[in-house]
Structure 1
Amino acid sequence: MLTTFIRAAAGAAVALAAHQAAAQDYPDVTLRMAHPLPESWPAAQWDKWWAEEVERRSDGAVKIELFWSGQLGGLLEVKDLVASGAVDLGVFAQAVHASEMPLTSVAAGLLNRVSADAETAQALAGQVYAAEPTRAELDALNLHPIKWTVTSPYRLLCNTPIEETADLEGLRVRAVGGAYVPIWMESYGMVPTRVQAPEIREGLQRGTLDCNFGPIEWVPFFSLQSVAPYLSDINTGTFTTFQLYAPADRWNAWPESVRDLMTEVAEDAMARDLDWLDGAEAEAIQTFRDAGGEIVELADMADFVAQSPDMIAVWQDDMDEAGMAEAVAPIVEMQREAAKSFEE
């Protein structure tokens, strides 16, 4: 018993010494992190968790001061704040900057019906970021991706039921991201409509918008269930919505211990995001149904799929015309592999 106690005490002493040594590897620093969304936004808790966990695991040495709701810059401004080094860290939706970062933006699931589920979307993003052409693009922009947030599949939540593909004709649907989502929508006769997130409910209520395009977990957040009682079962694809970046030059200048810590915590945060999403999706669907909402099955799903444009090819053609055929080749292959998730 005494021997066991001595061994345990010795082990604890070694662990404590190792912990203290590790803690000393971190510089005392306070980093500013810009976030365009309110803290209450679905899945934003994993950005908060990441920041708090980095501080906790560094024993308070690496502090991250989070500025919510666009205090330091709005949705379209955070990218430039990060790239210029005006902030140490920043969250933004890279899909809205598709013209500036064409290779990186497809890591956000910019193309419809590529990733059928959140796990595929999350993995695809990591693969695209790691591709050499994407790394070169990010280096030129002075951006380093740290983590990204995923959602459940984007579906159409409408004030009228979508029972057949033909019912999509003429519907005014909220479009997000860059140019590719509207291209996909227009192939079915939908009318892509630019509406800011806080205006979705009012648009559906007044009839200036027929459908929202987004994940079900956003429905209770915006209280959409009472103004759009029909949820289509069409899976338009899963998107990674918001990404956390650091200035690449600053990232490279930070000690390896800090970079390793941030990366490790990011991996944990993204795993937690996936685990949370299953429950969040189920809870949102239940809230929707409790409010009288109806999930509408598309009667001619095979026709809908057959009519869906090959968005990977559309994007590839655009990149070819821009003289980027060689650069996009490995990323196209990644997208094609991910698209197999719709066959499972």
Structure 2
Amino acid sequence: MSKARTALCAIALAASAGFSAVPALANDYPAMSLRMAHPLPQSWPGVEWDLWWAEQVEERSGRKIDIEIFWSGQLGGLLEIKNLVSSGAVDIGVFAQAVHASEMPLTSIAAGLLNRVSADPATAQELARATYAAGPVKAELEGLNLMPLKWTVTSPYRFTCNKPIETMADLEGMRIRAVGGAYVPIWMEAYGSVPTRVQAPEIREGLQRGTLDCNFGPIEWVPFFDLQEVAPYLSDINTGAFTTFQLYVPHDTFMGWPQEVRDLMTEVAAEAMQKDLEALNGVEAKAMETFRAAGGQVVELADMEAFVAKSPDMIQVWVDSMTEQGLRADIEPLIPLQRKAAESFAR
């Protein structure tokens, strides 16, 4: 069994500790009708595994469990779904916990807020799993009435720009879309870039008009947003892989479900995340093919060693920030997890 597979199989064990591992028969499941709030359209890269999870839970329960997905923010927007789940207003919700870093400071670090920590999706996936399993994070989540079941990973975030980044100096003054909370802008500013808040639907227009020089995201977003013509230069700088959107249920609701339901949902979640991870290579290759076919170029950074040397120690930046907030004792178990993940950049 691969390291990635072992890690993902542990997700179900961590999330359902104390539950039976014996599969239930379909006729053992209670009839349940659940609503899932999803902020993204069904065509968004990676969300097919949220759909796969819901469909598999339905199928394996003998259709006793019905999950209706409300796509594109029908039940609530990106910033609203967290509170809808926490309050129990919806049974299941998908949101980006990174945008709620101030409300969930310990949990949010599981989304990979720090640049150049997880060099690849498998490392990002394992870092998230280990973070959710840490005692202080579990306590924070329970206090927020939230239980994470699965999360989505992407290929490494890179810069897709309307002009080439050939040397580190080219980053100076470039307006780059900044996402993921407070730490990404700090990292960008270290190179003289201008972090720019741009909503996803406005990325292409910003690049086309020149109010934005680069998108910051994985290559699979290029064909989705049709960026290949307005941003034909892809930098080879690996800024790190991140988990993006997380699927949550209310903690008290989850604990009130029968054991067989909890087991089913966590086991299918582990499988969905493994499939997501295994599919990424193909997704990345297909997106790159589309990018190159439109005339896109991959630009190698000539002074990569200098770029790496200049990169701030974002883990220490995070530690200092958490210490200032009086959370140093809470993050102690999390610091080694971040340091271990950062070793992936040395491999």
Pick aligned residue for 2:117 from 104, 114, 124: 114
* 2:205 pairs with 1:202: yes
Question: Which deviations, in whole Å up to 9, do the C-alpha atoms of 1:29-52 show, x marking residues without a partner?
Answer: 110000000000000000000000
CA distance in 2, matches of 1:169, 1:35: 37
* 2:249 pairs with 1:251: no
Amino acid at match of 2:233: Y
Partner of residue 24, structure 1? 27
Residue 275 of structure 1, CA deviation: 1.0
* 2:153 pairs with 1:150: yes
CA distance in 1, matches of 2:137, 2:277: 24
RCO comparison, higher one (Cα < 8 Å, 6+): 2
From the two aligned structures, give the one with the greater helix fraction. Answer: 1
* 2:174 pairs with 1:166: no
For the 8 Å contact 2:27–2:62, the answer to whether it is kept is: no
Partner of residue 97, structure 2? 94
CA distance in 1, matches of 2:201, 2:251: 32
Residue 24 of structure 1, CA deviation: 2.5
Residue 22 of structure 1, CA deviation: 1.5
Amino acid at match of 1:61: K
Matches within 5 A, 1:1-344: 22-344=25-347
Tell me how large the CA RMSD over aligned residues is.
1.0
Residue 172 of structure 1, CA deviation: 0.3
User: What secondary structure is seen at the aligned counterpart in 2 of 1:292?
Assistant: coil
Partner of residue 5, structure 2? none
Residue 23 of structure 1, CA deviation: 1.6
Residue 25 of structure 1, CA deviation: 2.0
Q: Which runs of 4+ in 1 moved over 4 A?
A: none
User: What secondary structure is seen at the aligned counterpart in 2 of 1:160?
Assistant: coil
CA distance in 2, matches of 1:43, 1:28: 29
User: What secondary structure is seen at the aligned counterpart in 1 of 2:277?
Assistant: helix
Alignment: residue pair count: 326
User: What secondary structure is seen at the aligned counterpart in 1 of 2:248?
Assistant: strand
Residue 324 of structure 1, CA deviation: 1.1
Amino acid at match of 2:78: L
Residue 323 of structure 1, CA deviation: 1.2
Question: Which deviations, in whole Å up to 9, do the C-alpha atoms of 1:192-248 show, x marking residues without a partner?
Answer: 000000100000000000000000001000000000000000000001000000000
TM-score norm. by structure 1 comes to 0.94
CA distance in 1, matches of 2:55, 2:105: 32
Unaligned runs of 5+ in 2: 1-21
User: What secondary structure is seen at the aligned counterpart in 2 of 1:146?
Assistant: strand
Partner of residue 10, structure 1? none
User: What secondary structure is seen at the aligned counterpart in 2 of 1:319?
Assistant: helix
Unaligned runs of 5+ in 1: 1-17
CA distance in 2, matches of 1:323, 1:54: 41
Residue 81 of structure 1, CA deviation: 0.3
User: What secondary structure is seen at the aligned counterpart in 2 of 1:74?
Assistant: coil
CA distance in 2, matches of 1:68, 1:87: 13
CA distance in 2, matches of 1:245, 1:100: 15
User: What secondary structure is seen at the aligned counterpart in 1 of 2:74?
Assistant: coil
Amino acid at match of 1:333: P
CA distance in 2, matches of 1:122, 1:25: 32
User: What secondary structure is seen at the aligned counterpart in 2 of 1:213?
Assistant: strand
> How many percent of aligned residue pairs carry the same amino acid?
71
Amino acid at match of 1:204: L
